[in-house]
Amino acid sequence: MTYLSANSLRGTYTGTLRRNAPSIPVTTWECPFSVPLAGAGDLSRMWQHSLMPATTRLISVNDVERLAGLQLSSRLFLAPWDPIRADPYFTVAGQQAEVENALARHGRGEAVPHVILDEDSQVVGRITFSGITYGAFQSCNMGYWVAQESNGRGYATNAVRAMTALAFKELSLHRIQAETLIPNARSQRVLERVGFVRYGTAPKYLKIAGRWQDHLMYQLLTDSH
């Protein structure tokens, strides 16, 4: 199982992005996302990146039916690692609302919601940065999930590695945080492969599967910023 954080779809943007970020040419594919510049009113900078292979891309309303199918088929598989979700969440309408909310928060600079892709560019899960904070913190939270039928094939590891490149090279963040339930050894191995370091345990950190549960806390740092 590759679910990391129950709050992967939540976060608060509280800082400013770099005003003079370098322009990065797009090569294999294009994944634009816009983030507001502090004090710039309605202006925003469009970021285009080619740091990743086609392992993730910005989520789209065109992904709704695929995501609904994955959530429904993986419902029991994901249940031990997820908050309790009502039945409408697993429908096309429910996923439509989820995607629209994610894109709205992305447009406000609060999150970077991506889908995870397989070798054929088919969606197999989601990975999201939330809680993007600048100022003295320069940090975000990362959460992800991969569907049951695509689990154990390296998609999560590749997606986490790709997103860390985005966080450090394009968003100019200093730190990425991720959390796992203590029994979630698969997620812990994914993080550790990419270089995340466990730095503590948070008691009763998130309400998962109907009860408050302890989480292991991981972080990845860069000294570039």
Mean confidence (pLDDT) of the chain: 81
Dump pLDDT digits (tens) for 141-150: 999 999 999 9
Residue 148 has phi, psi (to 5 degrees) of -55, -45
User: No. of H helices and E strands in the chain?
Assistant: 5, 9
Query: Comparing 171 with 21, which gets the higher pLDDT?
Result: 171
Tens-place pLDDT, residues 76-120: 999 999 999 999 999 999 999 999 999 999 999 999 999 999 999
What pLDDT is stored for residue 31 in this prediction? 32
Q: Is the pTM of this model over 0.85?
A: no
- To the question of domain 33-221 being in CATH 3.40.630.30, the answer is yes
Which sequence spans correspond to the domains of the chain? Answer: 33-221
**Choice between 42 and 183, residue whose per-residue pLDDT is larger:** 183
Mean pLDDT confidence for 146-161: 95
Q: CA-CA distance, 101 to 125, in Å (whole number)?
A: 17
Burial of 139 (0-12, 13-18, 19+ CB in 10 A): buried
What integer pLDDT is reported at residue 224 of this predicted model?
80
Question: Cα 190 vs. chain centroid, distance in angstroms?
Answer: 14
Mean pLDDT of 214-225: 93
| DSSP characters over 139-179 | EEEEEEEE-GGGTTSSHHHHHHHHHHHHHHHTS--SEEEEE
Mean pLDDT in residue range 120-144? 96
pLDDT digits (tens, 9 = 90+) for 3-35: 443 333 333 333 333 333 333 222 222 333 333
Give the confidence band of 167 by pLDDT, cuts at 50, 70, 90: very high
Q: Write down how long the chain is.
A: 225
